[in-house]
Amino acid sequence: MKPRIALVGGLDASAESLLDCRADLVRVQDWSEASLAAAVEDCDALIVRTFVPVTRRVLEGAKRLRVVGVAGVGTDRIDTRVAADRGVAVLNMADAASDAVAEFTIALMLGLLRPVSRLMGEYQAGRFERARKTPHGVELRELTVGILGLGRIGSRVARICSAGFGARVLFHDIVDKSELPFTARTCGLQELLTSSDMLTLHVPLDESTRGLLNAPRLAQMKSSARLINTARGEVVSTAALTEALSAGRLAGAALDVIDPEPLPAEHPLFALPNCILTPHVAARSVGGLQRMSEIAGRVLKFLGG
């Protein structure tokens, strides 16, 4: 008898074809709590994207559920305590998109430092000579890059910034890091905030990181500093960041994630020239999505033995 698997958010075509062949596949379109709970009530497995909340209600109502597979890195939307209490395994694809997110982080850094889109607009508007009159940005090699969280993604960003661009790299992590294959110095959180010209966040979302960059901590940063967030939106206070950018107490920010998500179109951040906003796409390279979709095979293997 085929296992019954609920799928929320979709995978690539080959992964969905595999599930269609090997399982009784239930595609869930409405992932509100009530609808998801009803859909998985008689399922053996649930596969979700990282944006789908799997709550206590969903887990407790799923009588046959053995495993939740996350097609991505973060499991912060899963009530892992309830899952553990009920003997439900939680699988994710921890390293599927590390390179994609690291490269996107670098792209955001360069986007803040060198205003390519604005210069293209100036050129197209016929202001060629005016656009050339002043310097446009600074080089990454001139800056101190601070990395909060030196895990899979953070270490890749550190290596690119240090070895690739020649930037000075500082990092703060709760886990001791030694014998790094690149040049970087560990420091406390306060030094990271006060010394970084470019601060990039690569921490998971949990109770220790939720709201970590609040108004007092943002106030410790240089007014010339820039902030990158490709981790989780809830790590940064959106209200405090908006105020800091608007008041000129922070030079710029580039955010692929934000709280709330999606941000309302009328939010003042969209009107700020020193803020880049992208719609949570850092992990969504072709290769990244393919690797995340490999969760289908992992879930089938788990159910099979």
Structure tokens at 138: 């600074």
Is 280 considered catalytic here? yes
Which residue do the tokens 């604005």 mark?
118
User: DSSP states of 222-246 as a string?
Assistant: -TT-EEEE-S-GGGB-HHHHHHHHH
Is 261 considered catalytic here? yes
Is 172 considered catalytic here? no
d(CA 52, CA 261): 12
Helix axes 13-22, 295-303, angle to 10 degrees: 20
Angle at 246 between CA 142 and CA 149, to 5 degrees: 50
The four Cα atoms 246, 248, 254, 256 give a dihedral, to 10 degrees, of -30
- Contact in structure between 46 and 69 (CB atoms under 8 Å): yes
Catalytic residue among 77, 156, 172, 232: 232
- Contact in structure between 158 and 171 (CB atoms under 8 Å): yes
Catalytic residue among 86, 114, 280, 298: 280
d(CA 107, CA 195): 22
User: Taking the CB of residue 272, how many other CB atoms lie within 10 A of it?
Assistant: 15
Structure tokens at 26: 């239930």
Question: Could you give the residue numbers annotated as active site?
Answer: 232, 261, 280
